[in-house]
Amino acid sequence: MNQEKNKDALVCINGRFTPPEEAVVSVFDRGFLYGDSVYEVTLTYEKVPFLLETHLRRLDNSALGIGMNLEWSPTQIKDLIQRGLKHFENDRLYIRIMITRGAGEIGLDPGLSDGQNLYIIFKELTPQPQKYYDDGVSLITAGILRNPKKSVDPNVKSGNYLNNVLAISQAKEKGAYDAIMLNAEGNVTESTTANIWILENDCFITPPLEAGLLGGITRATLLEIAKKNNFQVKEENFTPKRVCGAQEVFITSSTREVMPVTQVDGQVIGNGKPGPRTRGLHDLYRQYIQEVIGQEKKKVPWNHD
């Protein structure tokens, strides 16, 4: 494919690179028909994908969670990503890796599939507005629940996000940035595409995986960073009421890093400004990104010449 450098998006389908306008998916693909797919999102810093191997491990884990043995190895996917990145000059890219159970005769039975499909979307990263970090964002508590772990486990990053789509619609209707999703017990799980944290008595608290949530890679990294820095930190269930009464609240994800929350269900958190402990943790996370990217640049030929 003759794709010029610096185009702002590129798609790879089953190993073949194509401009987005020519990227065609079968209407019989089970990802399209049933959300029968798994996916990952990562991004680059200084042209290097951040924690790619960890994302590929989670992709594999998500696939196992829906009984799919991936037909692409992490090395093959990494190689395609390396090739895709060579088409860009941008330092900051968004990379979405999706594997569907494939196309075939219409019917729920996975046995009808004639083989998995791999899609990788590369596009320029649209950074979150700085205002969100300076002022904090607002959340509402959604009326729609996160799936229980005995349905499709929320720890599986599948292509079926309909509960989350409905939850964020409720947030947007109320002019909020995002929505907190509860489980059937009334405890907080996470937001629609990020993990949630509160600071209470100077202790960072995030719900445990057992609450029914996606084990975010940013969440796991921050748990490590907090422990390493001797911060008080724990995984514990909490209710929306505790969120509203917390000293500080923030959400975390690969694309957002650490984003302060200053309003929940119309109630102001703390003094209504992003908290110092949230900022401190974000600074440490940014330092960690720099360290990892520095090491990756030495280790892997992320060579764009």
Ligand X SMILES: Cc1ncc(COP(=O)(O)O)c(C=O)c1O
Residues near ligand X (CB under 6 A):
41, 190, 193-195, 214, 216-219, 252-254
Angle, CA 57 vertex, CA 218 and CA 299 arms, to 5°: 80
The pair of structure tokens assigned to 107 is 């019917």
Closer residue to ligand X, CB minimum distance, 103 or 233: 233
* Six-digit token string for 51: 């924690």
Closer residue to ligand X (CB): 46 or 153: 153
Which of 28/161 has CB closer to ligand X? 161
Token couple for 82:
């390396």
Least distance from C-beta 213 to ligand X, angstroms?
6
Closest CA to 260 of 285, 235, 238, 241: 285
Output 112 or 144, the one with its CB closest to ligand X. 144
Q: Minimum distance from CB of 194 to ligand X (Å)?
A: 5
Do 237 and 206 contact (CB within 8 A), yes or no? no
Smallest gap from residue 215 Cβ to ligand X (A): 8
The distance of closest approach from Cβ of residue 212 to ligand X in the complex, given in angstroms and rounded to an integer, is 11
Minimal distance in Å, beta carbon 164 to ligand X? 6
Closest distance to ligand X from the beta carbon of 170 (Å): 15
Using CA atoms, how far residue 212 sits from 188, 243, 253, in Å, is 9, 18, 17
The CA distances from residue 82 to 50, 55, 74, 86, in Å, are 13, 15, 12, 7
Q: Please name the residue that has the structure tokens 């989670």.
A: 58
Give the shortest CB-223-to-ligand X separation in angstroms.
11
Given the complex with ligand X, which of 115 and 127 has the nearer CB atom? 127
Using CA atoms, how far apart are residues 130 and 135, in angstroms rounded to an integer?
9
Helices (H), 174-275: 217-228, 240-244
Cβ(251)–Cβ(192) below 8 Å: no
- C-beta of 100 vs 193, nearer to ligand X: 193
CB of 36 or CB of 40, closer to ligand X: 40
Sign of the CA dihedral with 290 first, then 292, 295, and 298 last = negative
